């Protein structure tokens, strides 16, 4: 009776408090993509047992409603079940028919082993990436929504305009460099500015032959 209440409560609320014992908690592992094998593994649901103590008033009310008894009887039934769990010895088991079983490990600690579903019920699915180059879909950019065709054309136009800008910039830099080189050569040849050519005269001979 209590076993059925525990499983029903777990199904609805994903946890179940057991006074003085601990808490059963549903944990979920999402589907996993195995890229090397091109498959998607199925999601896995497991039930963990922790020593965490949680209020059991809501669970007692759930038991009373499900079994049509008053709160005092429901609390008493839950307490008796938890005492049976605490009294388990190594090798003993307390089974929840659809969920798992309580047992005592070699260290004398109470643990819960959840039942694993057969892999045939949760097969891996093929995961192959499919590209539709010609398909059109909507793309939201900020507050606006455009088609993928429009966005592709806009990006291509931006690339072309950016390439043209770089070409113009490179040409301007080349022209400036040529102008600077020509300007420098012009000055070096004395063709401008305050540079005046010097008159050269023949220096007299320092020594003259005596006739």
The whole domain housing 165 covers 144-188
29 DSSP β-pair partners: 44
Separation between Cα atoms, residue 96 and residue 3, nearest integer Å = 6
Rg (CA), the chain: 44
pLDDT band at 194 (very low <50, low <70, confident <90, very high): low
- Whether residue 155 is found in the same domain as residue 74: no
pLDDT band at 137 (very low <50, low <70, confident <90, very high): low
- Whether residue 73 is found in the same domain as residue 39: yes
Q: Please return the burial class of 102, using the count of CB atoms within 10 Å of its CB with bins 0-12, 13-18 and 19+.
A: buried
Strands 125-126 and 138-141: unpaired
- Whether residue 21 is found in the same domain as residue 114: yes
From the CB of residue 31, how many other CB atoms can be counted at a distance below 10 Å? 13
Residue 62's pLDDT is: 94
Mean per-residue pLDDT, 96-125: 82
Position 168 in a domain:
yes
From the CB of residue 76, how many other CB atoms can be counted at a distance below 10 Å? 13
Separation between Cα atoms, residue 36 and residue 133, nearest integer Å = 24
pLDDT single digits (tens) 157-183? 655 555 556 777 777 888 888 878 877
User: What stretches of the chain adopt beta strand conformation (E)?
Assistant: 15-18, 22-29, 32-34, 39-41, 44-50, 93-96, 100-104, 110-114, 125-126, 138-141, 144-147
Instruction: Report DSSP state, residue 122.
Output: S
pLDDT single digits (tens) 23-82? 999 888 888 887 777 888 777 788 899 988 899 999 999 999 999 999 999 999 999 999
Domain count, the chain: 2
pLDDT single digits (tens) 73-101? 999 999 999 999 999 998 888 999 888 99
Residue 209's pLDDT is: 53
- Whether residue 20 is found in the same domain as residue 118: yes
Whole-angstrom distance between the N-terminal and C-terminal Cα of the chain?
153
Domain end point (choices 126, 160, 177): 126
Separation between Cα atoms, residue 41 and residue 165, nearest integer Å = 50
pLDDT band at 188 (very low <50, low <70, confident <90, very high): low
- Whether residue 24 is found in the same domain as residue 80: yes
Residue 159's pLDDT is: 57
């Amino acid at each position: 009776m209590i076993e059925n209440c525990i499983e029903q409560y777990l199904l609805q609320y994903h946890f179940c408090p057991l006074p003085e014992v601990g808490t059963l908690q549903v944990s979920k592992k999402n589907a996993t993509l195995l890229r090397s094998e091109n498959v998607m593994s199925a999601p896995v649901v497991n039930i963990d047992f922790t020593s965490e103590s949680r209020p059991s008033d809501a669970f007692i009310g759930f038991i009373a409603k499900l079994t049509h008894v008053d709160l005092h009887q429901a609390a008493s039934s839950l307490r008796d079940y938890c005492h049976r769990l605490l009294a388990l010895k190594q090798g003993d088991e307390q089974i929840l028919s659809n969920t798992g079983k309580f047992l005592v490990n070699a260290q004398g600690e109470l643990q819960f082993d959840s039942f694993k579903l057969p892999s045939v019920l949760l097969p891996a699915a093929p995961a192959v990436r499919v590209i539709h180059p010609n398909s059109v879909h909507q793309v939201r950019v900020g507050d606006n929504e455009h088609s993928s065709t429009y966005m592709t054309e806009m990006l291509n136009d931006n690339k072309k305009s950016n390439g043209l800008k770089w070409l113009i910039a490179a040409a301007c830099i080349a022209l400036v460099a040529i102008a600077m080189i020509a300007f420098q050569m012009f000055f070096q040849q004395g063709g401008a500015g305050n540079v005046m050519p010097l008159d050269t005269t023949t220096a007299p001979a320092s020594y003259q032959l005596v006739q």
